[in-house]
Amino acid sequence: MESNTHSAPLCVTVITTMALTFVVEAECSVTKARSSRLTLPHTTACTPMFMPVGTQGSLKGLTPPQMVQLGCQVVLGNTYHLGHRPGAETVAAMGGLHAFSGWHGGMLTDSGGFQMVSLAKLSSVSEEGVTFASPHDGTTVLLSPELSIAMQNNIGADIIMALDDVVSSLISGPRVEDAMHRSIRWLDRCIAAHARPAEQNLFGIIQGGLDPRLRLYCLDAMIARDTPGFAIGGLSGGESKDEFWKMVHLCTQHLPADKPRYLMGVGYAQDLVVCSALGVDMFDCVFPTRTARFGKALVREGELALKHKRFATDLSPIDADCGCYVCKTFTRAYLHAVVKSHTGAQLISYHNIAFQLRLMADIRAAIEADALPGFVTAYMQTRFGPNVPQWIVDALFAVGIELDFATATPVAWPLPVAADFAAVVASEPGPPVAVDPADDGLAAMDL
C-alpha cells in the first residue's frame, strides 16, 4: 500500500497575531498527524490536545489546582451560558474569566452558535442573528455576530469563535447551504467587530453539513479570511460515522498546514485517535465529565460502569496503568459504593480527564517518534479486538494505516476536489434564504 506523502516541511512556524504562535514540530511520515506547539497569551499547549469543557469557566467537580495537576492546557467556556449567568459584563468587571474562575491556563469560548441546535425550540435565526428565549425567565435576546464577539471580548478567552449558523448534521436541503453562506457573512461581521485581535484569536468555523461541495466552498471562502486558526463545525451531531470521518478528512486536507485545526464537539477516545491521524490538532467534548456523572470510568478497553454490582468487591483500581490520584488511591469497590454521590462523580471525572489527557500525550509521543501507525494499530486491537468498526478501518486506510487484524475489509474513498463540483458551485452565493421564525429557525429542512 502506498504511504501518504506531504509537501509541508517538517517544521512550519507562523506568527499570525501577537496572540498566537503555532509551530509544527513533528509530522507522521504515513498519516496527516502532526505534533505542534501552540503559544497563547495564557499558556503554551502541545497538540494534538483534548480540551475539557467547563461551560461556565470551570469543570464540574474539579478545582483549578486539580486541573493544573491533571495537565489541562486549555479549557472551554460557553458564551451563551456565561452571558446568562453571571453575565459577560460581570465577568469583565472581575478582570475576565481567568481571574473570575481562578483558572490561569488557556481558555477558549464558543460563540453560542451551537445553542441554535441544542436549544432549537428556544431560538430562531435571521440574517441579523439568532434570537433566543431565556430558559430561565422567557425573555428574548438577539445574539448577533457583533454581540457574540463583544461578549467574548469581555470574557477574555485566548481563543474566541465566530458566530456561525449551525444546523443539525441530520439536516439536508437548502437550509444547509443557506447556513453555510450565512456563516461566511457572519465571519466577516465578527472580524469587523473584534476589538482585541492582539490579545484574543478569532477562529472561523467551517460549515457545509455532509455535502463535500458545500464544505469545499466554505473552506475556500474562510481560508481567504486568514483567521489565526480554523474549526471544523457541524459534525458529531448524530450523523453516521462514515459521513463524519469523510468530512473531517476533506477539511484537514484543505486547511492550511501552518494554522491550528480544531474539531468541535468530539471526545470519544477512538475518535480522538482516528481524527489525530486525519490531521486534527484540537478537540473538545463534555463526554468525559458527563459520563462520569453516570458512573462510567474510561479505560483503553472502553468504559467501566461502576454502578454495576460486579464491582462491589473489586479491590483493583480503575486502571492499573493510570498514575492519576484516583487510580493510586481508590479501588473500584470504593467508587462503586460512592458512585451515586457528588464524591463519586468528582473522583470519576478526575480520572476520566486524566485518561483523555494521557491518551493525547501518548498520541503526541507516537507522532514525535514517527511510530503512530503502530500505536494506532495496538490501540484499536486493545479497544475492539478483530471487530473494529468499518468506519475506523476505512478512515485509517485513507491515511495509510491498514489494520491487518480487523475482520472488516477497507473501502477506499477518493477525496473530492473542487473541480468535481465546478459546474454546480456558483462563484458568488445567491440572496439569503428566508427563515420563518415560526419554524424555530429550521425552515426548509428535511427532518
Residue 37 near residue 270, CB atoms below 8 Å: no
The span from the CA of 113 to the CA of 279, in Å, is: 24
| 284 catalytically annotated | yes
DSSP, residue by residue, 73-99:
-EEEEEHHHHHHTT-HHHHHHTTSHHH
- Best CA proximity match to 262, nearest among 224, 235, 290: 235
Of 158, 284, 319, 394, the catalytic one is 284
CA atoms within 13 A on the CB side of 390: 8
Which residues is 206 bridged to in the sheet? 232
- Give the span between the Cα atoms of 312 and 46, in whole angstroms: 39
Distance between CA 252 and CA 399 in Å, rounded?
A: 12
Q: Is 440 left (phi over 0), alpha (psi -120 to 50) or beta?
A: left
Cis ω for the linkage preceding 86 (within 30 of 0): yes
107 and 157 Cβ atoms separated by less than 8 Å: yes
Binding-site residues from annotation for substrate: 110-114, 164, 207, 234
220 is catalytic: no
Alpha helices in 211-330 (DSSP H): 212-225, 241-254, 269-277, 287-292, 325-329
- d(CA 444, CA 434) in angstroms, rounded, equals 9
Q: Extract the annotated binding site.
A: 110-114, 164, 207, 234, 322, 324, 327, 351
DSSP string of 120-166, one letter each residue:
GGGEEE-SS-EEEE-TTT--EEEE-HHHHHHHHHHHT-SEEE-----
Tell me how far apart the alpha carbons of residues 283 and 281 are, in angstroms, rounded to a whole number: 7
Question: β-strands 302-305, 296-299: how paired?
Answer: antiparallel
Distance between CA atoms of 437 and 107, rounded to whole angstroms? 34
Say which residues have a Cβ less than 8 Å from residue 182's Cβ, sequence separation at least 6.
125, 127, 165, 432
In degrees, rounded to 5, the angle at the alpha carbon of residue 427 between the alpha carbons of residues 187 and 127 is 35
Distance CA 43, CA 73 (A): 7
| Residues tagged active-site | 110, 284
